[in-house]
């Protein structure tokens, strides 16, 4: 219900802006041009943000962090002979979470390659609006997945740090 109201509201605002752009007074036309310019700037900024995040992701931003965690877990496991079983169980749980995050990263990378490999429309032909909308939705979904992945990775680092501090205290 709320979603429908928001869609209708957005359509009304867009309709008013388009009407004013073509048929409004000079002040209304200028205001519409200004708003369309601002919307264009926002879209360009979001596009640049997505490209920079994709570049970081492709450069292995997350892979390097997970490799460091894996190395730390290995060192702790070697030194954990004198620690209790609950510590080992927590370490196992963290390693499982790390593996799950690595699988998610691999999945995202595959989907990114699929999105970038999608064929562009032939020269002289207009792009299919439905296909463009679907591609934009997939890109937005990918961005949400990356943001969620970053939050999970941050939480994994915090949990790992807490476990490593506990190990130091027990030694």
Give 36-54 pLDDT, tens digit per residue. Answer: 788 777 777 767 776 777 6
> According to the model, what pLDDT value does residue 15 have?
85
User: What is the average pLDDT score of the chain?
Assistant: 77
What's the rounded mean pLDDT across residues 103-120? 75
CA 84 to chain centre: 38
Short-list 41, 44, 45, 17, CA closest to 31: 17
Q: Supply the DSSP symbol for 89.
A: H
Distance, CA of 166 to CA of 40 (rounded, Å)? 51
Distance, CA of 46 to CA of 28 (rounded, Å)? 27
> According to the model, what pLDDT value does residue 112 have?
76
What DSSP string runs through 38-88?
HHHHHHHHHHHHHHHHHHHHHTTHHHHHHHHHHHHHHHHHHHGGGS-HHHH
Distance, CA of 90 to CA of 166 (rounded, Å)? 11
Model confidence at 30: pLDDT above 70: yes
Give the confidence band of 119 by pLDDT, cuts at 50, 70, 90.
low
Give the confidence band of 22 by pLDDT, cuts at 50, 70, 90.
confident
CB 87 within 8 A of CB 170: yes
pTM of the model: 0.54
* End-to-end CA separation in angstroms for the chain: 58
Distance, CA of 129 to CA of 127 (rounded, Å)? 6
> According to the model, what pLDDT value does residue 126 have?
60
Distance, CA of 64 to CA of 52 (rounded, Å)? 17
Distance, CA of 53 to CA of 143 (rounded, Å)? 8
């Amino acid at each position: 219900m709320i979603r429908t109201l928001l869609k209708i509201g957005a359509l009304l605002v867009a309709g008013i802006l388009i009407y004013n752009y073509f048929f409004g007074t000079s002040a209304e036309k200028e205001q519409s041009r200004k708003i369309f310019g601002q919307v264009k700037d926002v879209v360009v900024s979001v596009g640049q943000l997505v490209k920079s995040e994709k570049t970081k992701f492709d450069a292995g931003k997350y892979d390097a962090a997970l490799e460091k965690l894996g190395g730390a877990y290995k060192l702790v496991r070697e030194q954990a002979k004198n620690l209790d079983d609950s510590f080992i169980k927590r370490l196992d749980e963290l390693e499982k979470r790390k593996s799950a995050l690595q699988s998610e990263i691999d999945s995202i990378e595959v989907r990114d390659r699929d999105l970038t490999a999608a064929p562009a429309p032939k020269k002289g032909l207009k792009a299919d609006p439905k296909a463009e909308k679907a591609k934009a939705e997939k890109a937005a979904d990918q961005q949400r997945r990356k943001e969620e992945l970053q939050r999970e990775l941050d939480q994994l680092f915090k949990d790992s740090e807490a476990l490593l501090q506990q190990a130091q205290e027990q030694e």
